[in-house]
A and B are shown apart, each in its own frame.
Chain A
């Protein structure tokens, strides 16, 4: 079977196994805690219903009001600062969902906005990431020269190490900052930064949601936006270094196969033969 097909099939199988294993582990870690929490909450709810004697309809109404009011508790989400925050979550595909367009026009615009914005953002982060890698490579080269190393070339391992440490450093800086400003524990802050910078963006922890932060604490707002964009660049640079080459593997193989077909090898075999190992 062609190499590309084998590779693709194995990747599919890998991913499915990975999903199965993940599901099993999450089930084991979370299921029990979920059931017990649910029981406690339902008990509490029933107590409250009895205490205040809510009718069924009214209770459902209360539920509705509370759920819909939740995003509003964090202040105005759609003034300029909030909209900018939202726009960031769209084009970077983080998508917390702490605020989501309520109007139909908003939803439609959001879709068009994403169609153009997401590829633009992908290309931008990779472009900037590549520039950063080149610059780091240059710095490391100079550093090796200064330190009087015999071999001053920068190897892939050097770059991967520096990239990895930058990522960890970025996450830790963010964790420290957000745990201070948002009052989360360091661990929760770190988890928030990780989930944000991998663009998963659950929305269980979201920055700038304490009362009116978006409107009032402008330096903190600016810091958050900068952090997200710079952090994504650092992660993007690392991905550019390590993962991007794998994204073009099949395409390369196709081209190599195309090249090896007879009518293309006329000129290559003119003077030289090639061996691929």
Chain B
């Protein structure tokens, strides 16, 4: 079975298993307490009903009023500060629900607002997160140099450690601040920060709902907004570092497959280079000498282009001359770079030999690295065009 299909099936099975396991554990942890809590509440309810001689309908009416009035207890939710808070919960998809549009036009606007806002926010957080990661990488590099370490390159492990600690401290700072301002226990405040910054946003704990804080305490309001947005940035940076590469795994594999298929099919009108093709497929060998001799036999930039293409499966591009042809349109006209090629820091001995092959990496290294870390970068908005040097 194709690798992507196997991977997808495995992921589906994992999620379903994860859900079943989670459900079982939650049931064990919460079900008993739920039962006893309900019993206690019912008992209290009947006591109160008896004390004040309330009928079932009376109590239901009372219930209705209390429930509806509850969000209002926290103050005006829709004045500018409250609306800003609400807008944040929409576009970051936190969605506490402490306030939700009650008018139909509010609901309609909310949907359109989310439609544009959510992708914008996703892109913004990833963009900013990447900038932060780059800056942190730079700082760590400088720190390593200052400390006089031998290897001053910043490894992935370094970055992940720093990222993880940033996340934990962000949560702790928030927990301390909110437990102080909202009067929650440290655990509940930590839980609140966690649920907020993962954008789950249950709404069981919501900041800015005490003492009309939204209207009366602008500094605290500002702190909350800043905390949520920077916290999401820190989490976003960590996700950008660790998770984003996995989101493009299937797409990369598809492109790799398409590339291999294309190389196999470019054999008809280009007879003279047909025998070069197997070279790239059997990526295990590095027939450097063979190809340089063949290069000498052929004239013209075009054949150098193909030589490049066949020697180095890392680099793939289309030249103008090849426009017409058998390469299916499914292959994007983009450049793919193997991760290893561009990393300045690792075990990239293979990129040190540009002189001999004219290629930045040996085919074996390229194809062996790509399945492992494989972040092939695509630039859909720029096309590398070969300018002939001949």
Q: Spell out A's residues near B (CB within 8 Å).
A: 4-5, 7-8, 11-12, 14-15, 18-20, 22-27, 29-31, 33-35, 37-38, 41-42, 44-45, 48, 52-54, 58, 61-63, 65-70, 72, 76-80, 82-84, 86-91, 93-97, 100-111, 113-114, 116-124, 126-128, 130-131, 134, 137, 153, 187-188, 191, 194-195, 198-204, 239-240, 242-252, 254-256, 258-259, 264, 266-268, 270-277
- B20 CB to closest chain A CB (Å) equals 7
A164 to chain B, nearest CB (A): 11
Q: A102-B30, A103-B29, A128-B8 are in contact. Are A34 and B19 (CB under 8 A)?
A: no
Query: Which applies to chain B's interface (DSSP): helix, strand, loop or mixed?
Result: helix
- Interfacial chain B residues near A191, Cβ < 8 Å: 107, 110-111
Binds A, one of B80-88, B259-267, B279-287: B80-88
Q: Are B385 and A277 in contact (CB under 8 A)?
A: yes
Please indicate the chain B residues that have their CB under 8 angstroms from the CB of A121 in the complex: 15
B120 lies within 8 A of A52 (CB): no
Q: List the B side residues contacting A14 at CB < 8 Å.
A: 120, 124
Chain B residues, CB < 8 A from A126: 246-248, 250
B-to-A contact residues, CB < 8 Å? 4-5, 7-8, 11-12, 14-15, 18-20, 22-27, 29-31, 33-35, 37-38, 41-42, 44-45, 48, 51-54, 58, 61-63, 65-70, 72, 76-80, 82-84, 86-91, 93-97, 100-107, 109-111, 113-114, 116-124, 126-128, 130-131, 134, 187-188, 191, 194-195, 198-204, 239-240, 242-244, 246-251, 254, 301, 304-305, 308, 328-330, 337, 341-342, 344, 354-355, 358-360, 375, 377-380, 382-389
The one of A12, A27, A259 in contact with B80, judged by C-beta atoms closer than 8 angstroms, is A27
CB pair A34–B102 under 8 Å, yes or no, is yes
Task: Name the B residues within 8 Å of A27 (CB-CB).
Answer: 78-80, 82-83
Minimal Cβ-Cβ distance residue in A for B196 = A95
CB of A4, distance to nearest CB on chain B (Å): 6
B245 to chain A, nearest CB (A): 9
Q: List 12 A-B contacts (CB under 8 A).
A: A23-B83, A27-B82, A29-B106, A37-B102, A45-B66, A95-B95, A120-B14, A128-B8, A191-B107, A191-B111, A251-B244, A255-B342
CA distance A198 to B119 in the complex (A): 10
A8 CA / B113 CA spacing, docked (Å): 21
Contact of A66 among B67, B78, B254 (CB under 8 A): B67
Given A66-B63, A89-B200, A245-B380, A79 contacting B31 (CB threshold 8 A): yes
Chain A hits for B384, CB < 8 A:
274-276
CB-based contact B18/A93 at 8 Å = no
B105–A29 contact, CB under 8 A? yes
Chain B residues with Cβ below 8 Å from A105 are: 29
The answer to whether B19 and A87 touch across the interface, beta carbons within 8 angstroms, is yes
Select one of B34, B79, B358, B378 contacting A267, CB under 8 A.
B358
Across the interface, B23 reaches (CB within 8 A) one of A83, A264, A272, A277, namely A83
- Which residues of chain A have C-beta atoms less than 8 A from B110's C-beta? 26, 191, 195
Report the minimal beta-carbon distance from A99 to chain B, rounded to whole angstroms. 8
Q: A5 to B127: give the CA distance in the assembly, Å.
A: 9
Question: Is there an interface contact between B52 and A72, defined as CB atoms closer than 8 Å?
Answer: no
Central interface residue in A22, A109, A250, A270, by most chain B CB within 10 Å: A22
A231 CB → nearest B CB, Å: 15
Chain A residues within 8 Å of B131, by CB: 4-5, 8, 250
Say whether B78 contacts A48, CB under 8 Å.
no
Given contacts A105-B29, A251-B130, contact A200 B93 (CB under 8 A): yes
How close is A20's CB to chain B, nearest CB, in angstroms? 7
Query: Which residue on B lies nearest to A274, using beta carbons?
Result: B384
The answer, among A107, A119, A267, for a CB contact under 8 Å with B359, is A267
Q: Other CB < 8 Å A-B pairs besides A30-B83, A87-B22, A102-B33, 6 of them?
A: A11-B120, A11-B124, A25-B113, A61-B48, A123-B243, A198-B114
What B residues does A255 contact at CB under 8 A?
Answer: 337, 342, 377
Q: Hey, which chain A residues are within 8 Å of B90, CB to CB?
A: 22, 200
Would A83 and B26 count as touching, CB distance under 8 A?
yes
Q: Complex Cα distance A97/B199, Å?
A: 12
B111, B187, B199: the one within 8 Å of A199 (CB): B199
